[in-house]
Amino acid sequence: MNSKAAKYGLIGAFILSAMSAVSLADRRSYVWTYEYQTMPQGAAEVEYYLTHKISDWHKYDDKNTWDHYVELEYGLTDHWDVAVYQTWNQTNTESRDTCDYTGSKLRTRYRIGEKNQLPIDILLYAEYILGDGNKDSDKFEGKLILAKDFGKWNLAYNQIYEKETKNGDETEHGYATGLSYEFSPVWKLGIESAGNYTEDKYYLGPTVSWASEKYWVNLGILRGLNDQSDDLRFRFIVGIPF
């Protein structure tokens, strides 16, 4: 075998290895939008979320907040998974910095059918948020997730319903939607929009996704589209399957 053939053989082996590794993980294309996928049966993954919200860029030095989530998810079947989150909120102001435990979340997802079996792939999502004492209310959040692949393109839409269950009866309706393109098994680039119909808040911005054999990383930035919205939102997610 000559050197050129050996070179291309090594490149091909690397690509196949990367494709295999990516396909086994619960790797996501977005940071706010869920797709039509669940953890494989018997597989587990740890994910860390960092969300930064800037309500008013001109007052950033006065106050800014960071949300930290740690999630453990497990595939009960190839169509059904469960997860538990622990959450913290960090607030920075001119006078003091605080980091408070804000509660936990229990989440489950269920895929209906198989990919491309229906005209639109459907996933059901339910989450119960356990607030920390009197500071944070218990909430139920449900999502209807609709998605479709067109070759290397993916389109996903989440209809979101959220209701307080313990300390109030407030109900909110929102959405998240994304369009992404897979440039390679390692890189995906997309655009996302998210918002709250009830509070008239809307956002739009880019998302990038990168994956290796051992973990994947997503990064997204959203810009507020009206005066009711935060000026900027940033989210970073890393997932480590095991």
Task: Tell me: pLDDT of 22 over 50.
Answer: no
Query: Which range, of 134-138, 174-178, 180-184, 219-223, averages the lowest pLDDT?
Result: 134-138
Report the 10 Å Cβ neighbour count for 158: 22
- Containing domain of residue 96, as a range? 3-241
Residue type, 27: R
- Domains contained in the chain, number: 1
CA nearest 160: which of 68, 32, 36?
A: 32
Query: If 0-12 CB within 10 Å is exposed, 13-18 middle and 19+ buried, where does residue 152 land?
Result: exposed
Percent of the chain with pLDDT over 90: 69
Look up the pTM and report it.
0.85
Question: Stretch 152-180: mean pLDDT, rounded?
Answer: 92
Q: What is the CATH number of the domain that holds 96?
A: 2.40.160.40
Question: Stretch 173-202: mean pLDDT, rounded?
Answer: 97
Q: What are phi and psi of 196, to 5 degrees?
A: -125, 110
pLDDT single digits (tens) 192-214? 999 999 999 999 999 999 999 89
Q: With bands split at pLDDT 50, 70 and 90, how would you rate the model's confidence at 64?
A: confident
Token pair in block for residue 29: 């294309």
- On the CB side of 202, CA atoms within 13 Å amount to 5
Query: If 0-12 CB within 10 Å is exposed, 13-18 middle and 19+ buried, where does residue 163 land?
Result: middle
Distances (CA, A) of 39 to 1, 27, 76: 41, 9, 8
Residue 59 DSSP code: G
Q: What angle do CA 71, 73, 75 make, to 5 degrees?
A: 170
- Contact partners, residue 106, CB within 8 Å, separation at least 6: 82, 83, 84, 85, 127, 128, 130
CA distance 189 to 56: 27
Question: Stretch 71-85: mean pLDDT, rounded?
Answer: 97
Query: If 0-12 CB within 10 Å is exposed, 13-18 middle and 19+ buried, where does residue 207 land?
Result: buried
pLDDT confidence of residue 123: 98
CA distance 13 to 2: 17
CA distance 209 to 187: 6
Question: Stretch 135-147: mean pLDDT, rounded?
Answer: 90
Task: Tell me: pLDDT of 150 over 60.
Answer: yes
CA nearest 62: which of 91, 90, 88, 89?
A: 91
Residue 197 DSSP code: T
- Please give the mean pLDDT across all residues of the chain: 87
Compute the radius of gyration of the chain from its Cα atoms. Answer: 20
